[in-house]
Amino acid sequence: MTPLELLWSGWRATYVTSGGAAGGVARDDVAQGRGSIFTRILTSGLDDTATHVVHRGEGVFAILNLFPYSVGHVLVLPYREVADLEDLTAAETAELWATVTDTVRALKVGYRPEGINVGVNLGQPAGGSVSDHLHVHVVPRWIGDANFMTATANTRNLNEALPDTAAKLRAAWPRG
């Protein structure tokens, strides 16, 4: 029998103790008018380097996931807080998906992944941790990446700090 291997994932403590709301923002903050964590980041007065925003468009922006599944995990979302795809305006829909495409391009240039997951969790039962502010996950993937780590050890293996990831994606962002 081999000894149990322990892997430290202390960064998860913030997420777990905040009830699944990144940055300690309670799930009812949107309902009570305080805004989602994303809105609070945008109105914080902090610059994009401090908040890990990698792109700002007219109605949509891209930000690194503070609790990423892998290096380069980006969230693309509208500035406006909406919960469902059908609540977006036609302009927001067009810009959202164009920005998802640009995110994929930037990840391919910056990281050369072997694959990419693109997904939306609509509603809390679907896995949406900030379900009142729609966001699209764009996650680079590699054959043999750390998939098993989450399932077996509730641990993520990230080999790069968020500021480094943000800088790399900003440099790789398509110029249009």
- Give the separation between CA 112 and CA 147, rounded to whole angstroms: 18
Q: How far apart are CA 96 and CA 60, in angstroms?
A: 6
Average pLDDT score over residue span 48-70: 93
pLDDT tens track for 140-149: 998 877 655 5
Tokens 């969790």 belong to which residue? Answer: 121
When pLDDT is averaged across residues 42-66 and rounded to a whole number, the result is 94
Q: Specify the pLDDT at position 14.
A: 54
Distance CA 76, CA 136 (A): 5
Q: Is 135 a catalytic residue?
A: yes
Burial tier of 102 (Cβ tally within 10 Å: 0-12, 13-18, 19+)? buried
Between 73-82, 103-112, 167-176, the lowest mean confidence (pLDDT) is in 167-176
Cβ count near 168 (within 10 Å): 19
The pTM (predicted TM-score) of the whole model is: 0.76
Residue 92: pLDDT over 80:
yes
Measure the CA angle with vertex 76, ends 122 and 159; round to 5°. 105
Residue 155 pLDDT grade (very low, low, confident, very high; cuts 50, 70, 90): low
Phi, psi of 137 (to 5 degrees): -85, 135
Residue at token pair 């380097």:
49
Average pLDDT over residues 6-18: 50
Taking the C-alpha atoms of residue 3 and residue 19, their distance in angstroms, rounded to an integer, is: 32
Q: Is residue 26 scored above 60 in pLDDT?
A: no
Per-domain residue ranges of the chain: 12-172
**pLDDT computed for residue 118 by the predictor:** 96
Residue position matching structure tokens 């989602």: 36
- Return d(Cα 153, Cα 132) in angstroms, integer: 29
pLDDT confidence tier of residue 175, bands split at 50, 70 and 90: confident
Distance of CA 169 to the CA centre of its chain: 13
Looking at domain 12-172, what is its CATH homologous superfamily? Answer: HIT-like (3.30.428.10)
Share of the chain above pLDDT 90, in %: 51
**What strands, in cross-sheet order, belong to the sheet with 115-120?**
53-56, 60-64, 74-78, 136-141, 115-120
Active-site residue, selected from the candidate residues 73, 133, 135, 137: 135
Instruction: Name the amino acid, one letter, at 19.
Output: G
CA distance 117 to 163: 22
